[in-house]
Amino acid sequence: MRILVTGGAGFIGSHLCERLLDEGHDVICLDNFFTGNKRNIMHMMENRRFELIRHDVTQPILLEVERIFNLACPASPIHYQYNPVKTTKTSVMGAINMLGLAKRVRARILQASTSEVYGDPQVHPQPESYWGNVNTLGVRSCYDEGKRVAETLMMDYHRQNNVDVKIIRIFNTYGPKMAENDGRVVSNFILQALKGEDITVYGQGEQTRSFCFVSDLVEGMLRMMDRPGFTGPVNLGNPTETTILEFAKKIIALTGSRSRIVYKPLPADDPKQRQPDISLAKEMLGWEPTVAVDEGLRQTIEYFDSVLSAG
């Protein structure tokens, strides 16, 4: 197939492009390189089935494709809060433009939504039926609300125009090719540990997260795209829950670091709990994570170690 991946030079997008090429598809990677990195895709540039287009999804584009993976949007608080208006426009106008394209060429489109649509959840773990507890006025709202509107647009285009849509809600994902400067807990902790710096834990580290390795996520995305008659939304993430403090200690042990743990105040609207209920993914996609956290972290640590060595 001829497949478009928006945000294809990003962390998850580049892994998805690799997998699609491995399966024999023609891949168009579209990215404006606000958070994407050419380093993530350079090794694919020699492949005749790979094409790169520098483009911003807030602007329309005319292409002939059969499937669209819409991943374009800064996904870490540091990046999406840098220009919150642009973040909202990317989610909302990007979805409108990609849905317009899907409608014109009759392509199936998958929207990469997020666990952030659940906000600071009052239901735990979070099933897809939960409507969320989101602050519409906070510093994270540009991302949370942008993604919620994108989901709304997907369903309205589906109901009104019969566009074939798929919605996934991505929970914390990690692995090689994560950006070093994205402020996420995995990259922060690993880099601090490798450099022997203090590891920064917010609050008392009692907030929980669940971490899914990127190859597991990509597998879930492909299964969802290939599943007929199911729009979602569906949670994709690892249901194994851990506290941030436990996670910091695990990374210190795996890196053999002498880093100390230091505590700082919690950021605004930081969710206290985050854990997916993946019952629906198991039922409809036959999917669940297979990469153990320790193994995934070893691969991620090796990647960041090589990045630091390269200078």
Give the separation between CA 13 and CA 110, rounded to whole angstroms: 13
Q: What is the dihedral of CA 13, 274, 86, 203, to 10 degrees?
A: -120
Inter-residue contact 215 to 291 (CB < 8 Å):
yes
Q: What residues have CB less than 8 Å from 133, skipping those under 6 apart?
A: 118, 119, 120, 121, 122
Q: How far is CA 208 from CA 156, 212, 241, 242, 309, in A?
A: 34, 14, 6, 5, 31
Here the tokens at position 226 are 């290939």
Question: CA–CA separation, 49 vs 259, rounded Å?
Answer: 45
Q: With contact defined as beta carbons under 8 Å apart, do 163 and 102 qualify?
A: yes
How many whole angstroms separate alpha carbon 132 and alpha carbon 118? 4
Instruction: Based on the residue annotation, tell me whether 263 is a catalytic residue of this protein.
Output: no
- Reduced to 3 states, what is the DSSP secondary structure of residue 222? helix
Q: What tokens does 233 get?
A: 């939304």
Strands (E), the chain: 2-6, 26-31, 50-54, 67-70, 108-114, 165-170, 173-174, 199-202, 208-210, 212-213, 234-236, 241-243, 261-264
- Can you tell me the distance from the alpha carbon of 167 to that of 148, in angstroms, rounded to the nearest whole number? 11
- Determine which one of 143, 157, 174, 303 is catalytic: 143
Enzyme catalytic residues: 143
